[in-house]
Structure 1
Amino acid sequence: MPEEVVLVTGVSGFIGSHVAKLLLEDGYKVRGTVRSLENTAKVDALKALVPDAKHELELVEADLSKEEGWDSSIQGCTVVMHVDDPFLNGPEIEVEVEVDEQEPADAKEEMVRVLKKLQESSVKKIIVMSSSAAVVAETTPEADKVYTEEDWSDPESATIDPYSKSKVLAEKAAWDFVKELPEEEKIELCVINPAFVLGPALLESHKGATSMNFMTQVMNRAYPAVPRISFAICDVRDVAKAHVQALKNPAAAGHRHIICTDTLWLREMTTTISKEFRPQGYSVPTGQLPYVLCWIAAAFNRSMKSFILPRIGKQFKFENKRMVEVLGVEPTAVESTLHDMVYSLVDLGILRKAKKYKQVGSRAEIPSVNGEVEDTPEKEGEEEKKEEEGEKKELEPEDKEEKKENEPEEKAEEKKEEKTEDNKEKEKEEAQEEKKEEKEPEK
């Protein structure tokens, strides 16, 4: 088993905890950075991730924005997995998106600060978690374009958001720093560029993560319908595997690696979730929010205007060739990613447990920490009935147009039938009059 010490920055985060868990299961000595050791609940939960691990998880205090703690964190390490991100795995991507306002310059400075510390240490390899936002962050994709590791977001673009800009500048700073190192001080650099990261959470403390906010809004039906936007997604377990494989495989050094399962419309995602959880008492929005309502909302909502509206009807496609062929990571099925995530959130108490919840998710062995919802079965039934009626009323624009086009034809048919009936009555009356006239001369 590997005896080298691997440092995982941001080990308590959504992605960092999965990376540490996988390393511990593989027998590595793992040291993880947290911003504070005083949160005993979080510390204890982290140390319990792999109860039968060969080596106990070591935790140290270190903050990206501060100088203190990094010397002791790095001491004796040969590999660093730099997973720490003040905003976890992305901007606040929700149905109502809150775009992070982190200063790009800060992200760049934080990256250089860490790399300078590594240069002075025994570290020989660093695996940096960047983002697909560093590959492309424009609001409009190039026609029929499939983005690869060769593509870069333009940090000077007028449409790039602050978060994406910070990821581009931080990653570029890492590549430039390593490139300029003297040969005798060279550090191997490998970069992981995940798409929007979803999948099961490991800790209750992950409830504040971007991905959790997104899923809790969907499951709590924060909105009656969803806008026609798409997300390139990946599974957190695949991201963790990519980090470990990048450590083991020499071919990963000096390269970027996009981690992506597929690009899906938000409505496809909520429909997949609804099929699994609606029978269990959850009301998940599957209707389409008309463009005109998004346009009206944009006048009052900054996120709708800056993030959602420009992306309506557009899809960004990513190639995951290096993920599969070099790192040997086969993408997890979308259904498993979405379903396991919801089950984990319920089992951890981040989401309410409905009365019909059957607790069969990826963390089914862990008792739910929150009680049943107060809603009665009758109320749940009423909610489902209302949702069904609401969805029946919702029509896609093309459905409305088709109905409108068919209306004149239907009315014409109705008039034709009315005219035919009138003619029959008239003919009947005329025949009766003729018979009456024929009888009168005989008298």
Structure 2
Amino acid sequence: MPELVLVTGGSGYIAGWCVAELLRRGYEVRTTVRGRDREQAVTDAVSTVVDPAGRLSFAVADLTHDDGWDAALKGVDRVLHVASPLGTASNDPGTLVATARGGTLRVLRAATAAGVKRVVMTSAANASSPSSYATQGVTDETLWTDPDDPTLIPYRRSKTVAERAAWDFMREHDGPTELTTVLPGAVFGPVLTTGNIGSVGIVGRMLTGEMRGIPRIGLEIVDVRDLVDVHVRAMTAPQAAGERFLATGEFLWMSQMAHALRDGLGAEGRQVSTRQVPDVVVRLLARFRDPSLREITPSLGRRNRHTTEKAHRVLGWQPRPARQTVLDCAESLIEHGAVRIPPRAGSGR
């Protein structure tokens, strides 16, 4: 009998790919949704890459409520806890942190009560980064972000607090359930559906020309397909129990992303701006015109990077080149009609 794996938040970008890949590898999959009205959308998305017939089921459960989690975990062998609230400038910071922490504990309580073999939790590289944005160099999983640092943006604090709470919970649990955490960088790659494109919306804005200038920000880009692969490796490798694994990819400045799109897409990349915006202009815009930019200003020019040597050594994981991921992401967005590239001037279209 194939193992049954629960994936939390099946309508999300990363979770959808987790569901698809687990099915492709022969697992039975159950995924949580916040309402039955989301089931068909998840099924349709997954069906673009694999036939889910007879092996995909759903459970209604919400990270903010206790109801449904015991039923969701019944009979489950392993868990990929991928779901997490997203942070934006409009979120209440306290609510965001409480939701991430509370949701993680709900999943772990139900998983340990059900005797699940292992829970793999999706954290973030931002939970293993120096608090000071001025810090340079390369860091590994032994470093923890200081959740009390007043300069942390809410999303970064929420991921750190939630992962801390998970490890604290497991230290007090003496049952058979094991915990492993995966800490990704900036997740890009192909989309399964236009319903939830997650972080790849950045690439979409570059393609349409909406992003008329490029801030001096660097990203450690990991392909969503490689991220799913490291989750499955962490779920099954005996030596992964009780470990944290950074899953960041190649570092690219956003200006390098823009040039990769212009050079690699031909006519479809013609709207991509490669003009870099000076840091002082970004800070002025954040202060006086666009408050949503405030969360990125601490990252301007930041060069701190993470090493994935542990994932390579322990799990045999190897991500693909970042430029290829960016191009695959763009081509997928175009193919799915997620972006509309303006016609050339005078083309008559």
Common fold: TM-score over 0.5: yes
Deviations 1:37-82 (A, max 9, x none): 2146404414524544585211221111112211211110111110
Q: In the superposition, relative to structure 1, how do residues 31 and 39 fare at CA in structure 2: closer, same or farther (>3 Å)?
A: closer
Q: Would the aligned equivalents of 1:131 and 1:167 in 2 still touch at CA under 8 Å?
A: yes
Question: Over residues 367-424 of structure 1, what are the superposed CA-to-partner deviations in whole Å (9 max), with x where a residue is unaligned?
Answer: xxxxxx6x3562599xxxxxxxxxxxxxxxxxxxxxxxxxxxxxxxxxxxxxxxxxxx
Secondary structure class of the residue paired with 1:205: coil
Residue in structure 2 matched with residue 199 of structure 1 by the alignment: 189
Structure 1 40/146 Cα, relative in aligned 2: closer, same or farther at 3 Å? closer
Q: Do the aligned residues in 2 keep the contact of 1:127 with 1:191 (CA within 8 Å)?
A: yes
State the partner residue of 2:166: 174
Paired amino acid for 2:182 = I
Residue 60 and residue 47 in structure 1: after superposition, are their counterparts in 2 closer, same or farther (change >3 A)? farther
User: Structure 2: any 5+ residue segments left out of the alignment?
Assistant: none
Instruction: Identify the residue that residue 359 of structure 1 maps to in structure 2.
Output: none
Partner of 1:303: 292
In the other structure, the counterpart of 2:26 is: 27
Q: TM-score, normalised by structure 1?
A: 0.73
Alpha-carbon distance in structure 1 between the residues aligned to 2:74 and 2:336: 35
Q: Which amino acid aligns with 2:283?
A: W
Question: 1:39–1:310: structure 2 CA closer, same or farther, 3 Å change rule?
Answer: closer
Q: Larger C-alpha radius of gyration, 1 or 2?
A: 1
Partner residue, 2:102? 109
Change (3 A) 1:279 1:62: same
Matched, 1:264 2:270: no
CA RMSD for the aligned pairs?
2.3
- What is the count of residue pairs matched by the alignment? 347
What is the CA-CA distance between 1:86 and the residue it aligns to? 2.4
Q: Spell out the pairing of 1:220-369 with structure 2 (5 A cutoff).
A: 220-280=208-268, 282-300=270-288, 301-304=290-293, 306-352=294-340, 354=341
Tell me by how many angstroms 1:348 deviates.
1.4
Q: Which amino acid in 2 is paired with 1:298?
A: A
Deviations 1:344-386 (A, max 9, x none): 111112112x5xxxxxxxxxxxxxxxxxx6x3562599xxxxx
**CA–CA distance in structure 1, aligned partners of residues 295 and 313 of structure 2:** 33
Higher-RCO chain (CA-CA 8 Å, sequence separation at least 6): 2
Q: Which amino acid aligns with 2:61?
A: A
- Give CA-to-partner distance per residue, 1:299-342, whole Å, 9 cap, x none: 213333x3333322221211011222222221111122001111
Mark the CA change 1:50 to 1:274 in structure 2 (over 3 Å): closer, same or farther. closer
Q: Give the 3 Å change call, closer, same or farther, for CA 377–123 of structure 1 in structure 2.
A: same
Q: Distance in 2 between matches of 1:5 and 1:213?
A: 32
Decide whether aligned partners of structure 1 residues 28 and 322 sit closer, same or farther in structure 2, where only a CA change above 3 A counts.
same
Contact 1:231–1:315, Cα closer than 8 Å, also in 2: no
Which shifted more, 153-162 or 308-317?
308-317
| Matching residue of 1:76 | 75
Return structure 1 stretches of 4+ with deviation > 6 angstroms.
97-100
Corresponding residue number in structure 1 for 2:346: 378
Offset of 1:295 from its aligned partner?
3.4
Q: Which runs of 5+ in 1 are unaligned?
A: 355-372, 382-443
Question: CA–CA distance in 2 between the matches of 1:239 and 1:44?
Answer: 21
Q: What is the aligned partner in structure 2 of residue 131 from structure 1?
A: 124
Q: Secondary structure at the match of 1:231?
A: strand
Does the 8 A contact of 2:139 with 2:307 survive in 1?
Answer: yes
